[in-house]
Structure 1
Amino acid sequence: MSFKKILFVPLLAAICGSAAAQTYPSRPVELIVPYSAGGSVDVMARAFGRELSEILSTQVVINNRDGAGGTIGVAAVASARADGYTVLFSPSSPLTQAPFLMGRLPYQPDSITPICQIFENPFVIAVRKDSPIASVKELLEQARQQPGKLSYGHAGPGSVPHLATANLAKSSNVSFNEIAFRGDAQVIPQLLGGHIDFGALGVSSVVGKDLRILAVYGDKRLPGLPEVPAITEFGIKHAVIARNGLYVSQGVPQAARDRLQQACRAATEKAEFQKAAGQLYQQVNYLDSATFASRLASDNETNRALIQSLGLLKTGN
């Protein structure tokens, strides 16, 4: 091969790479939401998708692939073509909790690459407004008097509200009758209908309904609900953070990942998106890819230790 040809090959690759960076995306982007339509994650995904579509100048199609604690939707992204046109909008739980709770997954957690954190979703303990339980203190007292009788609903095994409530029970030396559902949208009617005693729910699923919030799973009160105490005010350590962000499959070109990260940041800064998040009591908190990956790695270790301490640890992958 001549010297000119040797120079030409990398030059051509650089030109093609630059062109790819400038043309992505050149067709619609599929945004997979691994939870059911109507829940807080889905509503936030649709609000975010509208901004992302405008920023990327292409259609963003929302596709709900719910089930198995979010792992079905994550598996769909993990097995998708690594071109940046199939993007996951999801809480981190299928990556930082499910591997320790389910043992065997239809994907390897490292087959998913984080792009950015978008928001943190606060969860709460809620009862019906006519419930005789008026506080966390009363909830725990009743649980001590009647071990295993108080029933509660959560969004599935390994979900943030499930782990947070399991941690509450362990820390308080009580037991609850836990009932798993596919999401908040299925828990709410059971709670309102009196079929369960309380719910561990996303705050956006509770506000505006005939429910009373006893506490926020967090280390501080929410700006929109200053009268509601944080769980740490009862001496309970806040154990699980519900991070929500964008991900793609491993191997997506750097140019596409960079473009998505830039678009993600721009979308979180949009007044319309921040307004939508505020209405749902979600906390917008953008983190770039590197910082998000670091936080997920830390959560991974924390969650593994928590799940093991709760006696729920499974291995298999």
Structure 2
Amino acid sequence: MRRRALLAGLALPAVAAAQSWPDRPVTVVLPYQPGGATDTMLRALAGGLQARLGQPVVVVNRDGAAGAVGTLSVMRAPADGYTLAFVPAVVLSVLPVTRPESGLRADGLVPVCQAFSNAQAVVVRPDSPLRDLRDLQRAAQAAPGRINYGSLGTASVPHLAMVEWLAAAGAEMTHVPYRGDGPVMTEVLAGRLEVGAVVLASLGGRTDLRVLGVFDGQRNPGFPEVPTAMEQGFDVAPASFGGLMAPRGTPEERIRRLEAACLEALGDEAYRQAARRSLQPERFWDDRAGFARRLEREVAEKAAVLRRVTLE
């Protein structure tokens, strides 16, 4: 009896500590500049998390080195649940390969919940003779390497999506890297690029470009008339998915609480509106188990794609 009482007494501080967490503000780092679609979604999510955790949730934009700076700051933070990251999978699947000097590791963060999934798209001028991806395939096969396409940078998700598609299409085109989707679309409209590979959300309400196809598992609600690459016969559906993650070693009970709060917050109307504005698909979210499985596949798939890419 005395032994049981002693053990119970020893357990009380641990239980109390678990129940009292969090007892101060939680910081969520976005490794990119403010103002983008992901930033908008995170700020909507932060409000939902704050309501459920009972503490302020502070968004910090810490950009640099294509997302490596902010991501690494979270990897190196104390694994106590007070510093989190809101990141795309590429910071774990691509950056450790393309920026080995960064210190990033594929296992440096653990999933909490998936909160977004951005499809990629192939665009041309509205007066282009190309009407779909089959037209582009035929044109590229007829003139190997002579058609230029732009993306927001070497080893970006749009670039790697095109690398995958070209392999599936048995075609060759020349990649021209830019610093963002905006310049790519400007160059396409000006006629200096024949084709652009962009994040679908970057199109917003634009109607001055023709979308040849969307890389995703299903048609996007924002472009219901545009068939996916898979519908056009190409088994390619890479997306820029991601969400809330924590430093490896964060206590399991805190991860569970964060996951529950995150999944509830994703159902809030504020977040749903942000998701619609960002052209999210019907199923853009997942729990941490589903997020972890998808991330594991992503790391393996991107490693295979990167072997076909010459880093510029």
Q: TM (normalized to structure 2)?
A: 0.86
Select which of 136, 141, 145 maps to 1:139: 136
- The aligned amino acid for 1:150 is I
Does the CA-based 8 Å contact 2:26-2:82 persist in structure 1? Answer: yes
CA deviation after TM superposition for structure 1 residue 102, in Å: 4.1
CA deviation after TM superposition for structure 1 residue 58, in Å: 2.7
Tell me the residue number matched to 1:184. Answer: 181
Select which of 170, 174, 177 maps to 1:173: 170
The separation in 1 between residues aligned to 2:124 and 2:35, in whole angstroms, is: 20
Select which of 81, 90, 93 maps to 1:84: 81
Cα distance change, pair 14–152 in 1 and its aligned pair in 2 (3 A): farther
Query: Structure 1 residues 210-219 or 49-58, which shifts more?
Result: 49-58
The separation in 2 between residues aligned to 1:267 and 1:153, in whole angstroms, is: 36
The separation in 2 between residues aligned to 1:298 and 1:263, in whole angstroms, is: 26
> C-alpha offsets along residues 94-136 of structure 1, whole Å, 9 cap, x if unaligned?
2123334444541222121111112322111123335454432
- The aligned amino acid for 1:184 is D
Aligned residue for 1:22, secondary structure, equals helix
Whether 1:40 and 2:37 are equivalent positions in the alignment is yes
The separation in 2 between residues aligned to 1:180 and 1:67, in whole angstroms, is: 18
Select which of 252, 265, 268 maps to 1:267: 265
CA deviation after TM superposition for structure 1 residue 6, in Å: 9.3
Give the RMSD, CA atoms, in angstroms. 2.8
Cα distance change, pair 7–65 in 1 and its aligned pair in 2 (3 A): same
Aligned residue for 1:235, secondary structure, equals coil
Select which of 212, 224, 236 maps to 1:214: 212
Tell me the residue number matched to 2:291. Answer: 292
Query: Structure 1 residues 206-215 or 11-20, which shifts more?
Result: 11-20
Unaligned segments of structure 1, at least 5 residues = none
Aligned residue for 2:230, secondary structure, equals helix
Cα distance change, pair 220–277 in 1 and its aligned pair in 2 (3 A): same
Tell me the residue number matched to 1:148. Answer: 145
Does the CA-based 8 Å contact 1:184-1:202 persist in structure 2? Answer: yes
The separation in 1 between residues aligned to 2:211 and 2:44, in whole angstroms, is: 25
% identical aligned pairs: 35
The separation in 1 between residues aligned to 2:194 and 2:9, in whole angstroms, is: 65
- The aligned amino acid for 2:63 is D
CA deviation after TM superposition for structure 1 residue 260, in Å: 0.9
Query: Structure 1 residues 193-202 or 207-216, which shifts more?
Result: 193-202
Does the CA-based 8 Å contact 1:191-1:197 persist in structure 2? Answer: yes
Query: Structure 1 residues 138-147 or 213-222, which shifts more?
Result: 138-147
Does the CA-based 8 Å contact 2:29-2:85 persist in structure 1? Answer: yes
Alignment of 1:12-31 (within 5 A): 14-31=11-28
CA deviation after TM superposition for structure 1 residue 251, in Å: 1.8
> C-alpha offsets along residues 294-316 of structure 1, whole Å, 9 cap, x if unaligned?
222233223333333x2559xxx
Does the CA-based 8 Å contact 2:96-2:104 persist in structure 1? Answer: no
The separation in 1 between residues aligned to 2:41 and 2:181, in whole angstroms, is: 14
CA deviation after TM superposition for structure 1 residue 221, in Å: 1.6
> C-alpha offsets along residues 119-172 of structure 1, whole Å, 9 cap, x if unaligned?
322111123335454432333333334433433332333332221101112222
The separation in 2 between residues aligned to 1:168 and 1:159, in whole angstroms, is: 14
CA deviation after TM superposition for structure 1 residue 223, in Å: 2.9
